[in-house]
Structure 1
Amino acid sequence: MSKKYVVQKTPFRVPAPEGKLIEEHFGNVSDGNTHISIARMIAPPGWSEPFQTPTFDEYTYIIKGRKQFNIEGEIIILGAGESIKIEKNTRIQYSNPFKEECEYLSVCLPAFSPESVNREKF
């Protein structure tokens, strides 16, 4: 009889620039799942990414600290206990311009992949 659950004790650490930690628990990179990705992330103070226009919906839940979202020119700042859904095909830039690190969970539907994020050059 096969088990109807999977326990993840060793998430895949995705190499990331500028000191950002990405631990993918389920998803394209960790287990080949293309339907959903779930990752814990820590963005250090001063971190930012280039603009991107992903072809997936992304849900973000802030665990601690603050995170800044530049969504098609509108700046939104979320803190611990707050969350946001960014719809696919939305131009966005993520950053942490604050003095403390930001820890958050990210859920992408379908799963994140380097090809589907469509990052712009800095």
Structure 2
Amino acid sequence: MKKYKIQKSPFVVPTTDGKLIEEHWGNSTQNSNISIAHMVAPPDWSEPYQTPEFDEFTIIVSGKKQFEIDGETVVLEKGQSILVEKGARVRYSNPYAEPCEYIAICLPAFSIELVHREEEGVD
């Protein structure tokens, strides 16, 4: 038996906000311990605040991404990375004119049940 797996066709998560999410590993591959996704956030994209039950690592491949973490705003650009620990209240956005391409790694794997997104308009 081989001691490796190759992912040739990641699961493309359906979205309604123009964001590309390609999950290479995670719940879509029956792995609840980790999720690894390639993402592209379009210009002027944002999502609601959330308080997830997973750690999320983000590596910026191109563009810039804004993080609002427990009341502090952090902006990362190409080549930078961040760890947002579980239990932090965070909102991710790309308020810039260029798309932002990045890799997201969640431990344990991302799931709707663990993300705890707030309703739109709640600050």
**Same-fold status (TM-score > 0.5):** yes
Q: Which runs of 5+ in 2 are unaligned?
A: none
- State how 1:27-46 maps to structure 2 within 5 Å: 27-28=26-27, 30-46=28-44
User: Could you tell me how far 1:17 is from its partner in structure 2?
Assistant: 2.6
Query: Using the alignment, how far apart are the partners of 1:87 and 1:38 within structure 2?
Result: 16
User: Could you tell me how far 1:72 is from its partner in structure 2?
Assistant: 1.0
Q: Which runs of 5+ in 1 are unaligned?
A: none
Query: Using the alignment, how far apart are the partners of 1:62 and 1:17 within structure 2?
Result: 22
Query: Using the alignment, how far apart are the partners of 1:13 and 1:112 within structure 2?
Result: 14
TM-score computed with the length of structure 2 as normaliser? 0.96
Find the partner of 1:84 among 82, 85, 89: 82
What secondary structure is seen at the aligned counterpart in 2 of 1:70?
strand
Q: Does 1:112 align with 2:110?
A: yes
- State how 1:1-122 maps to structure 2 within 5 Å: 2-28=1-27, 30-122=28-120
User: Could you tell me how far 1:68 is from its partner in structure 2?
Assistant: 0.1
CA deviations on 1:61-107 (whole Å, 9 max, x unpaired) are: 00000000000110000000000000001000000000000000000
Query: Using the alignment, how far apart are the partners of 1:105 and 1:97 within structure 2?
Result: 18
Query: Using the alignment, how far apart are the partners of 2:63 and 2:96 within structure 1?
Result: 8
CA RMSD of aligned residues (A): 0.5
Query: Using the alignment, how far apart are the partners of 2:38 and 2:15 within structure 1?
Result: 13
Aligned residues: 120
What secondary structure is seen at the aligned counterpart in 1 of 2:98?
coil
TM-score computed with the length of structure 1 as normaliser? 0.97
Query: Using the alignment, how far apart are the partners of 2:15 and 2:71 within structure 1?
Result: 25
User: Could you tell me how far 1:15 is from its partner in structure 2?
Assistant: 1.1
